[in-house]
């Protein structure tokens, strides 16, 4: 992720309006004791088990235990990023999906928030440890056939997660394969330190090279809801081809360690042709995947659909539909299970 400085007075006003009181200088609650003089404070009961590779905007990430329970901490160098991610995760955690027309299970698509802690005087966000591996690593481990079979279901889940996020008034801001965690068959969306409210019309907090929406370079107010649409489409394209829409090869990015501007190549429009993607698109699920991706990667932000405006019927086509015979078999199996669970009347249980 590359951080962007947002310093204009207008942006500051919008920040205050959208974030309200969440952007405090020190968001941490009182920890119940006063640190010893000249000794960096650590939350009581917090122990580091293993340091974790960290990104550009984080001073420390680690696997920890807090009072015996495993967790993962992120300690950003930029206090704004800590506030932003805490606010986003807190909103996800406390909102009621049913109020927004969604099932409660949609919350399972997000990493759970544990709270705020301190480590050696550094303010940190603590979340649950997420099992599995990031979506990029998962996709790289799949055969071509497994990939085209699994991608539609994976992106149906990501679309549902982002629908919920937008309905509760937040955007993500840095959607990419590395920010989705896969523990098949479930997906979790992570990393919300670039999340802004849907009302935000200022610049972006951060981005990942190769995934930027075309409008980001125009110097005009950005609609972050449709920017998320582009980012989701770019993630679909990257998962399918191994490249971002701007042609940045992921493996080259990893080998370099840091992204350099000269690695970028000319923007190129994603194509659904088998010649470019070398991926068959014959099944209804694959066709729906390609159709959704192309809609989301519309270069005109005014014509690009929001994730919530995508056609429900089209989204449902991402899921494998059962035949009538399979549904009858499933119904029969459920009936057998239902009857088998009824308590049996035996002589020794009679009154």
Angle, in degrees to the nearest 10, between helices 9-19 and 79-94: 30
Q: Tell whether the model's pLDDT for residue 77 goes beyond 80.
A: yes
Residue 136 has pLDDT above 50, yes or no: yes
* Rounded Cα–Cα distance for residues 221 and 203 (Å): 7
Strand, helix or coil for residue 314: helix
pLDDT confidence band for 21 (50 / 70 / 90): very low
The Cα-based distances of 173 to 85, 161, 310, 330 in angstroms read 11, 13, 19, 40
| pLDDT exceeds cutoff 90 at 174 | yes
pLDDT digits (tens, 9 = 90+) for 108-131: 999 999 999 999 888 999 999 988
Q: How confident is residue 41, by pLDDT bands cut at 50, 70 and 90?
A: confident
pLDDT above 70 (res 213)? yes
Span 298-307, average pLDDT? 94
Identify the band that residue 200 occupies on the pLDDT scale cut at 50, 70 and 90: confident
- 202 pLDDT more than 60: yes
Higher pLDDT, 313 or 259: 313
pLDDT score recorded for residue 275: 40
Contact (CB, 8 A) for 85 and 113: no
Least confident of 1-10, 79-88, 317-326: 1-10
Q: Give first-to-last CA distance, the chain, whole Å.
A: 69
DSSP annotation of 48 reads E
Closest Cα to residue 227, out of 178, 191, 175, 177? 175
Whose tokens are 């235990």? That residue is: 65
pLDDT of 23 reads: 36
User: Is-contact 23 83, C-beta < 8 A?
Assistant: yes
Q: Token pair for residue 239? A: 């998962």
Helix, strand and coil content of the chain, in percent to the nearest 5, comes to 45, 15, 40
Report how far apart, in Å, the C-alpha atoms of 301 and of each of 76, 78, 229, 307 are.
31, 30, 9, 13
What predicted TM-score, i.e. pTM, was given to this entire model?
0.75
Which domains does the chain show, CATH number per domain? 10-24+41-127 (3.30.200.20), 133-316 (1.10.510.10)
Of the candidates 235, 228, 233, 149, the residue with the CA atom closest to the CA atom of residue 184? 149
**Residue 261 has what pLDDT?**
31
The whole-number pLDDT of residue 289 equals 94
205 or 168: whose pLDDT is higher?
A: 168
């Amino acid at each position: 992720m590359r951080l962007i400085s947002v310093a204009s007075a207008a942006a500051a006003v919008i920040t205050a309006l959208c974030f309200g009181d969440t952007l405090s200088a020190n968001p941490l609650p009182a920890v119940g004791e006063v640190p010893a003089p000249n000794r960096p404070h650590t939350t009581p009961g917090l122990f580091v088990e293993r340091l974790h590779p960290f990104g550009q905007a984080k001073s420390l990430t680690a696997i920890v235990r807090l009072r015996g329970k495993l967790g993962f901490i992120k300690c950003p160098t930029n206090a704004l990023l800590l506030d932003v991610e805490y606010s986003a995760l807190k909103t996800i955690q406390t909102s009621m999906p049913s109020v927004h027309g969604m099932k409660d299970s949609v919350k399972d698509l997000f990493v759970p928030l544990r709270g705020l802690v301190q480590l050696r005087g550094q303010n940190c966000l603590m979340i649950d440890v997420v099992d599995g591996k990031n979506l990029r690593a998962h996709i790289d481990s799949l055969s071509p056939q497994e990939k085209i079979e699994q991608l539609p279901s994976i992106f149906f889940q990501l679309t549902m997660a982002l629908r919920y996020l937008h309905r509760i008034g937040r955007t993500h801001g840095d959607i990419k394969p590395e920010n989705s965690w896969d523990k098949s068959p479930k997906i979790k969306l992570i990393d919300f330190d670039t999340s802004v409210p849907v009302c935000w019309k200022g610049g972006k907090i951060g981005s990942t090279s190769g995934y930027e929406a075309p409008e980001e370079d125009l110097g005009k107010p950005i609609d972050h809801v449709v920017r998320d649409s582009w980012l989701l489409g770019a993630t679909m394209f990257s998962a399918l081809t191994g490249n971002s829409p701007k042609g940045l090869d992921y493996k080259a990015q990893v080998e370099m360690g840091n992204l350099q501007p000269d690695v970028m190549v000319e923007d190129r429009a994603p194509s659904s042709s088998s010649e470019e993607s070398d991926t068959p698109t014959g099944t209804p699920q694959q066709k729906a995947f390609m159709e959704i991706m192309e809609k989301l990667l519309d270069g005109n932000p005014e014509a690009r659909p929001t994730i919530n405006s995508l056609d429900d019927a089209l989204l449902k086509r991402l899921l494998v539909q059962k035949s009538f015979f399979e549904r009858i078999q499933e119904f029969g199996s459920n009936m057998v299970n239902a009857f088998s669970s009824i308590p049996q009347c035996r002589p020794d249980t009679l009154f």
